[in-house]
Every structure is written in structure tokens, then in C-alpha cells.
Amino acid sequence: MLEALLLMFFLPLESLGNMKSFRILWIWFYISMGYRAY
């Protein structure tokens, strides 16, 4: 559910072609994977 909200939030930023927002998306992705691991 959290991943879906993050995708809905970051997809518009990614469509703008902003590399910084895309990097933030990967940071949130790694954080969510870290929480899933624990």
C-alpha cells in the first residue's frame, strides 16, 4: 500500500524528467525495501 502511494506521488515527477525526483524515488524504494526486510 505504501509503495502504491509512493508511485502515485512520484510518477508525475518522473514524467517531468527531473533526475533529482527520480533519485528521490529510488531512495524511498530502498527505504521501503529495508522496512520490508526487517
pLDDT in tens, 14-24: 566 556 666 77
> Which is higher by pLDDT, 13 or 23?
23
- Quick check: 7 and 24 in contact, CB under 8 A? no
In the predicted model, what is the mean pLDDT of residues 30-35?
79
Query: How far is the C-alpha of 32 from the C-alpha of 7, rounded, in Å?
Result: 12
pTM of the full structure: 0.38
In the predicted model, what is the mean pLDDT of residues 4-18?
66
Cell of residue 22, nine digits: 527520480
- Coil, strand, or helix at residue 33? helix
